[in-house]
Amino acid sequence: MFLRLTLAIAHLLALAIGLGAVWGRWRALRRLRDITGLDAVFHADNWYGVAALLWIITGLWRAFGGVEKGSDYYLTSHTFLTKMGLFVIVLLLELRPMVTFIRWRSQMKKGRTPDLSSAPLLARLTIYELPLLVLMVCMAAAMARGW
Ligand code: HEM
């Protein structure tokens, strides 16, 4: 019971952290003019990473670790499968930003100035993720109630 509650709380906290981080990263990318703005981008991106890890670990544990309704319930739930489909789209949208931030971070560490010209595209990709995450919440609420 304690584990079940803890996982549910952590899963919901990931939502709070994740939505804030996506919004923050979008704003930081839109304001990015030179490398002085990179700290804000990396800061928001770090929190998004924390949220993603929490979502994946607690979500998979709840779905397949036998702490909630059992794998059969979720694997036959249309709303769960839709939620996972939306998550895959979010991950695909995240590929380009992820690869670019890894490159920017590594260039900054080596004392080089990264090319920031893709910031507007990365901002757009980031904000496209927001409605998908909100839709995931709708699917999650429905799936938890037997839809
Ligand atoms: C690998 C990714 C994920 C998996 C496997 C997963 C799985 C689950 C599971 C098994 C539950 C419990 C449902 C129940 O009570 O029967 C749940 C609840 C929930 N999930 Fe996820 N989840 C994932 C990612 C996400 C993401 C990215 C979001 C938000 C955008 C999210 C939002 C929610 C919410 C809000 C609930 C609570 C629903 C409620 O009790 O009303 N999940 N999730």
pLDDT tens per residue, range 71-122: 999 999 999 999 999 999 999 999 999 999 999 999 999 999 999 999 999 9
- Residues 14-62: tens digit of each pLDDT: 999 999 999 999 999 999 999 999 999 999 999 999 999 999 999 999 9
Does ligand 1 lie within 6 Å of residue 81's CB atom?
Answer: no
Q: Is 129 in the pocket of ligand 1 (CB under 6 A)?
A: no
Nearest CA among 115, 109, 128 for reference residue 25: 128
Measured distance CA(88)–CA(82) in Å, rounded = 10
Rg, Å, the chain Cα set? 17
pLDDT at 22: 98
CB 23 within 8 A of CB 130: yes
Å from CA of 11 to ligand 1 middle: 7
Report the distance separating Cα 125 and Cα 77, nearest Å: 29
Rounded Cα–Cα distance for residues 57 and 10 (Å): 10
Ligand 1, residues 4, 23, 55: which to mutate, most atoms within 8 A of Cβ?
55
Distance between CA atoms of 19 and 50, rounded to whole angstroms?
A: 12
How far apart CA 127 and CA 125 sit, in angstroms, is 6
Measuring from atom 22 of ligand 1, which residue has the nearest CA? Answer: 59
Residue 15, Cα to own-chain centre: how many angstroms? 8
Please check whether residue 100 is in contact with residue 41, taking contact to mean a CB–CB distance below 8 angstroms. no
pTM score: 0.94
Q: Is the CB of 15 under 6 A from ligand 1?
A: yes
SS3 category, 33: coil
* Per-residue pLDDT at 76: 97
Q: Is the CB of 35 under 6 A from ligand 1?
A: no
